[in-house]
Structure 1
């Protein structure tokens, strides 16, 4: 009887031990005893096709100021929700009052400001131009608590901040294999990042750009948990444990 009891207990423990152990700690290879200084890759935000730009002008010419202030951008597909701004078309051009069309695709925000200021100087005295990106949007999907698309003010966000906006990963999320999808010059680039390692700070994909998509892949334990073949496993384990306890009580 004792041999049967021992076998049942060992079998139950073996089933429980089948659950894989995972590292749920971010940057677990950071030194605990000393400060870690890591040179981070600084990503530059560049204007892309279909971006919506806020362009404001302050100058001695009141009419020019009003023209820029009253201009509106493109509406949504259904014709509603028309927002202020200047849309970059499929040719990478933006059409502005007074100046006309300018090529801004591929420029940094600072460079676009300089270009518009330079062109406005031909018509307006001492213009002060401010350019901002209105549609800086990222999308976080997969094993996070609040998957969604987020509009980011300030044109600066990194991967950790994006995950924070999405409520952080669930316990099933693979921290060692986060996929970042980015469109560059019409091509989709996909990079996998390991958030268990500090080296991720040096990746050009750690700082996000507009329209980036972050996908957190579920680990195999979730796949097994929701598999029809494994849904009964917790019940079987509980039953074996109960039988082992019962056998122990009977032989005393």
Structure 2
């Protein structure tokens, strides 16, 4: 009986020690952008998203005389009065970039803007409009700049944002950040350009990631955070967890009774 008692005590101590080791995390695996010898030199201008086919753009033309902009703002004559900001936005003209990368605007006709940044597209339209309007103003906004964040984050989902200046940290922040079970060293980024998908890996524990061309996101990017080994092992237990715990409790009770 004493042998059984010693064996049970040893087994229990080993289990506790294993649980402590499994519960301990490493700072190296948890902290973002740990200091190293890398020089951080991230320039957003190098990675500004380009307009792509299927993008939906809001384009508003302005001028000193609002009447001359009416042909280019089909709904602009309705804007005014006591409309709310939400209604005002809904009335602004939108254009979908077709599969060839073109939009069709009143009077200007077909205009190729795919491959341009928002700033470049604004300048192009200003030049085209200058033959009809003196000193025209142009404002372009993305209506469907969407990114998806999946995997081990607090709130996975798709997010539509009002700006194209979006980093991988912004996207993770909208998703509530990584859970403690997420692998920070191997975050997957799925990107599609001209119909071709590519997969990149980002190590969020390395400072050099701030210099990555994938630090800034593009429309329709997908960020996936994979689970760590502990989470994978836990998922294998699944519904059997309660059964295992019950059996273990029963065995401990039996051993306790036999060793009295």
CA distance in 2: counterparts of 1:83 and 1:13, whole angstroms: 69
- SS of the residue 2:183 aligns to: strand
CA distance in 2: counterparts of 1:15 and 1:82, whole angstroms: 65
Q: Cα gap change, 1:28/1:213 in structure 2, threshold over 3 Å: closer, same or farther?
A: closer
The 10-residue stretch of structure 1 (116-125 or 1-10) with the greater mean CA deviation from structure 2: 1-10
User: Over residues 6-39 of structure 1, what are the superposed CA-to-partner deviations in whole Å (9 max), with x where a residue is unaligned?
Assistant: 43233334445273754452326337xxxx9622
Give me the CA root mean square deviation: 3.1
Out of 206, 212, 224, the position equivalent to 1:215 is: 224
Structure 2 counterpart of 1:69: 73
* Mapped pair 1:166 → 2:175: yes
* Deviation, structure 1 residue 135: 1.2
* Mapped pair 1:90 → 2:99: yes
- Stretches of structure 2 that go unaligned for 5 or more consecutive residues are 77-89
Q: Cα gap change, 1:146/1:59 in structure 2, threshold over 3 Å: closer, same or farther?
A: same
Q: Cα gap change, 1:173/1:187 in structure 2, threshold over 3 Å: closer, same or farther?
A: same
Q: Cα gap change, 1:83/1:140 in structure 2, threshold over 3 Å: closer, same or farther?
A: farther
Q: Cα gap change, 1:152/1:243 in structure 2, threshold over 3 Å: closer, same or farther?
A: farther
* Mapped pair 1:9 → 2:5: no
* Deviation, structure 1 residue 96: 1.0
- Stretches of structure 1 that go unaligned for 5 or more consecutive residues are 73-80
Q: Answer whether contact 1:58 1:127 (CA < 8 A) is retained.
A: yes
User: Over residues 121-166 of structure 1, what are the superposed CA-to-partner deviations in whole Å (9 max), with x where a residue is unaligned?
Assistant: 1222221112221211111111112111111122212112211111
- SS of the residue 2:144 aligns to: coil
Whose helix proportion is higher, 1 or 2? Answer: 2
Structure 2 counterpart of 1:118: 127
State the TM-score, normalizing by the size of structure 2.
Answer: 0.78
Question: What are the residue-to-residue correspondences of 1:164-203 with 2, within 5 Å?
Answer: 164-203=173-212
CA distance in 2: counterparts of 1:119 and 1:28, whole angstroms: 45
